[in-house]
Amino acid sequence: MTDPLSPAATARQLLRAADRATLATVQPLGWPYASLTLLALAQDGNPLLLLSDLAEHTKNLRHDPRVSLLIDGTAGRDDPLTGPRVTVLGKAAEVADPPLLARFTRRHPSAERYAGFADFRLYQVRVARAHLVAGFGRIDWIEAAALLSPRAPALAAAEADILAHMNQDHSETLDLYAERIAGRGKGTGWRMTGIDPEGCDLRRGGCVARLDFRAPVGDAEAARAELARLAKLARGSL
């Protein structure tokens, strides 16, 4: 992340790159309750959570839908307090949306084992605002309109085909993306798990990587052009 980024862009990058978060809910007696949860995002950036009915945080949500999610981007720093983190505030609501569930399970393949269980449900957090701390002196409140990405229905409709094409026909390119752009080191077996207007997500085993686009894309043609540009960059031909 670079200094010229706006607070909203910095916060979006943190959210887009994260695969987990600390979820804070409110117990019926008023106590705050924090737990670890897996995280995926809808294409517009609203968080997605797959939760068990038996979990304490789900019981709390039924009492009070207000939540906060802490996304921590400080790993690897000698002083974590100099690193970026963002707290997202919003209300969680159950959604019955197969494409959103597919985005979640692609991001977290292990969740496919229980996503169809009767006591697991997908929740979407409708963002109200976010609080970014990007190091000493870089503290900002960000409203939802600035944090979220514009909807791109044409890209959403093409997402499954784009992922199938990249995973089946361009697996070597995905490995180059992860190694030379995302800095994940040499390795094979990376897969693209999602694409949105601002970038795409990769995964190999327990590792995830995020590729940010140079400019937002809104449909398959624009996405194809940006992925080709990134391939040239990864091969050193730009």
pLDDT digits (tens, 9 = 90+) for 42-89: 999 999 999 999 999 999 999 999 999 999 999 989 999 999 999 999
Residue 3 has pLDDT above 60, yes or no: no
The reported pLDDT for the residue numbered 1 is: 39
What's this model's pTM, rounded to 2 decimal places? 0.93
Neighbours of 28 (CB within 10 A): 10
CATH (one of 1.20.1250.20, 2.60.40.10, 1.10.10.60, 2.30.110.10) for 7-147? 2.30.110.10
Query: DSSP per residue over the chain, as a string?
Result: --TTS-HHHHHHHHHHH-SEEEEEEE-TTS-EEEEEEE-EE-TTS-EEEEEETTSHHHHHHHH--EEEEEEE--TT-SSGGGS-EEEEEEEEEE---HHHHHHHHHH-GGGGGTTTSTTEEEEEEEEEEEEEE-STT-EEEEEHHHHSPPP-HHHHHHHHHHHHHHHHH-HHHHHHIIIIIS---S-S--EEEEEETTEEEEEETTEEEEEE-SS---SHHHHHHHHHHHHHHHHT--
Instruction: Output the pLDDT for position 53.
Output: 97
How far apart, in whole angstroms, are the C-alpha atoms of residue 231 and residue 159?
18
Res. 197: pLDDT tops 80: yes
The mean pLDDT value for 149-163 works out to 95
Residue 135 confidence class, pLDDT cut points 50, 70, 90: confident
What is the reported pLDDT for 2? Answer: 40
The mean of the pLDDT values for the chain is 95
Q: Which fold has domain 153-235?
A: Split barrel-like (3.20.180)
Sequence ranges of the domains in the chain:
7-147, 153-235
Rounded average pLDDT over 8-36? 97
Mean pLDDT of 116-145: 95
